[in-house]
Amino acid sequence: MIRHFPQYTAKGILLPLVLLVLMTVLSNAHAAVFLREYSRDSPGSFPDDVSADISARSHETDEHRVALHSAPHHPAVTHRISLFAGKFTTQSMGDTASFWSVDFEENHLVALAYAQDMLELGYDLRLGPEVGIAGRFGCRWSTEVWAGAALRHGGVVLFDHLRLEPAFTLGLSWIDRSIGIERNREETQNGDATLLVYLGPELAFALPRYPQWAFIYRLHHRSGAFRTFGNLKGGHNANTIGLRYSF
C-alpha cells in the first residue's frame, strides 16, 4: 500500500494543485504581456488613455488606503451552485483520474453542492466553505452528505474564448449505507465507511461571455486516508460531470 502512495498522490491530489499553480502563473503572465504591449507602443510611457486611467486608479488607491489597511480584505462574495452526476469505479483515485481503462461499477450518483468564496488569498485564489448532498443508487439506495473547505482559482481565459477554473475541496463525508466496492472494503478490511475524508478536485470550463455558467468535471472521492477514518485503506471514487451557476 505504502509503495503505491506516491503514484496515487501524484495522480489524484497533486494534479489539481498543479493546475491551481499553473493558473496563477498564467494570470501573472497575462498581466505582464499587457504591460509589455503598451510599453512597446509608446517607449518610456503608456498611451494617454492608459496613463489617465492609471492616474485615476492611483488617486482612488490613495483615498482608500486607510480603509484597506484598517480591515481584512474580502472579495466580492461569490456563491456557486453545482449540479453533477456520474458513475462510481472500482479503482483508486489515481486510476479513476486516468480516464482510460477505468473499471466502472453499476452504481451512480446525482449530487448538488453549494459553495461560497469568503477569503481572498492573493494570486487570484479564493477560499470558502462547501456543502453538498448526493443520492447514490444502483445495487441499492444510499445518501451522502459532505462539508469542507473549497480552494478555487479565478481562472485564466485561453484564446479569448474559454476560461479554465481549477478548484479543490477537502472535508468530511457521511453516508447512511455503503454500496459497491466501498461495501466490499468494509467487509474485507473490517472497516466502517460511514464517515470518511472527502476530496473533490474539479476543473470548470466557461465562456467569458457567460461567466456565470460553467461546465464542470469533478472527481468525487471518499477515503479512509490509509485507515485514519473507518479503519479503511481506501473508499469510493466517481467520475462526474455537471453544470455550475455562480451569482
Fold of 2-25+74-246: Porin (2.40.160)
Cα atoms in the 13 Å half-sphere on the side-chain side of 38: 13
Residue 203 burial class via C-beta count within 10 angstroms: exposed 0-12, middle 13-18, buried 19 and up: middle
What span, in angstroms and rounded, lies between the C-alpha atoms of 169 and 114? 12
3-class state of residue 127 by DSSP: strand
pLDDT of residue 3: 42
Strands 162-175 and 119-122: unpaired
pLDDT of residue 234: 86
Ranges in the chain, pLDDT < 50: 1-11, 31, 34-35, 38, 42, 45-46, 50, 54, 58-74
Q: Dihedrals φ, ψ of 77, to 5°? A: -60, 130
* Residues contacting 49, CB < 8 A, separation 6+: none
Q: Hey, what's the cell of 145?
A: 452528505
What span, in angstroms and rounded, lies between the C-alpha atoms of 137 and 126? 33
pLDDT of residue 98: 83
Instruction: Identify the CA nearest to 223 among candidates 113, 96, 111.
Output: 96
Q: Hey, what's the cell of 52?
A: 489617465
* 88 C-beta neighbours (distance < 10 Å), count: 25
pLDDT digits (tens, 9 = 90+) for 109-122: 999 999 999 999 99
pLDDT of residue 160: 92
pLDDT of residue 23: 55
**DSSP codes, 230-246:** TT-S--EEEEEEEEEEE
pTM attached to this predicted model: 0.74
| Domain edges within the chain | 2-25+74-246
Place of cell 484598517: 70
pLDDT of residue 152: 96
Q: Are 143 and 184 in contact (CB under 8 A)?
A: no
3-class state of residue 152 by DSSP: strand
pLDDT digits (tens, 9 = 90+) for 22-63: 555 555 555 455 445 545 554 554 455 545 554 555 444 444
β strands within 67-175, DSSP E: 78-89, 104-117, 119-122, 125-137, 142-153, 156-158, 162-175
Polymer length of the chain: 247
3-class state of residue 13 by DSSP: helix
What span, in angstroms and rounded, lies between the C-alpha atoms of 178 and 233? 15
* 228 C-beta neighbours (distance < 10 Å), count: 12
